[in-house]
Amino acid sequence: MNRATKLTARLMGFAALGLALAGCAREGELAMAGDGVGITAIRTVCPAVGVPDYTGNITTFAGNGAPTLGNLDVTATITNVRSQCSESNDKVYSAASFDVLARRNGTQGARRVELPYFSTVLRGNSAVVSKRIGTVVIDFADGQDRATGKGIAGAFINRADATLPQDIREQITRRRKPGDPDAALDPLQDPAVKAAVARASFELLVGFQLTEEQLAYNATR
């Protein structure tokens, strides 16, 4: 559960890096300008939102519970993850909503299925700040093999914790003139800067609350 998707990892970084010249420098590049070298860093205190690897799907089995095609009961997928963030106060509030698309093997009779999901806040891509468990309700009508449910998660983050220290911001954005010893160096590769960026980076992750067997099934399917 501690491995986020590649998209999540990209979103954790700076939303845009580069200094305008004739156009825009590509992400992460140092752009040359007439009065020196620098990076313009644009980032938000809002956490990145995503689904960790192997937790976006769940499969349940009927009968003796053996993971065979004949025992297949319900499969479901988290999709259409959307995020909203309010960063106007000292407490930043982030909300994630998502759809769950489910399919059952048998279609006889109406049936309600409840699927557990988690929402967790990570700091620095590894430290768990909080975790909550919720339930998505799926209602299948008689004769229906597909149905949709909805889930929502929310979290508060301290603005101060998600804000880079002023000295780190200055180190990142300071203009380097030609001839300066560090003119060609990327400040984002400085270990102290990388550590500060990690400490100020948060993720709100959602996924199905899986058993060890379900997680192993997803990892090998």
List pLDDT tens digits, range 77-120: 999 999 999 988 889 999 999 999 999 998 999 999 999 999 99
Together in a domain, 73 and 111: yes
Together in a domain, 141 and 60: yes
Please tell me whether residue 123 adopts helix, strand or coil conformation.
strand
- How many domains would you assign to the chain? 2
pLDDT of residue 206: 97
Say if residue 190's pLDDT is above 90: no
Degrees to nearest 5, angle at CA 29 with 23 and 33: 55
CB 104 within 8 A of CB 73: yes
Together in a domain, 37 and 105: no
Together in a domain, 156 and 132: yes
Together in a domain, 58 and 142: yes
pLDDT in tens, 39-68: 555 578 899 999 999 999 999 999 777 888
Together in a domain, 128 and 189: no
Together in a domain, 19 and 113: no
CATH number at residue 82: 2.60.40
Together in a domain, 77 and 129: yes
Q: Which of 9-18, 30-39, 171-180 has the lowest mean pLDDT?
A: 9-18
Together in a domain, 127 and 179: no
pLDDT of residue 154: 93
- Of residues 221 and 136, the one with the higher pLDDT is 136
pLDDT of residue 170: 75
Question: How far lies 221's CA from each of 209, 210, 213, 215, in Å?
Answer: 18, 15, 12, 10
User: What does the mean pLDDT of the chain come to?
Assistant: 79
Beta-carbon contacts of 178 under 8 Å, excluding residues fewer than 6 positions away, are 36, 37
Domain range spanning residue 105?
A: 46-160+201-220
As a whole number of angstroms, the distance between CA 85 and CA 92 comes to: 7
Together in a domain, 56 and 121: yes
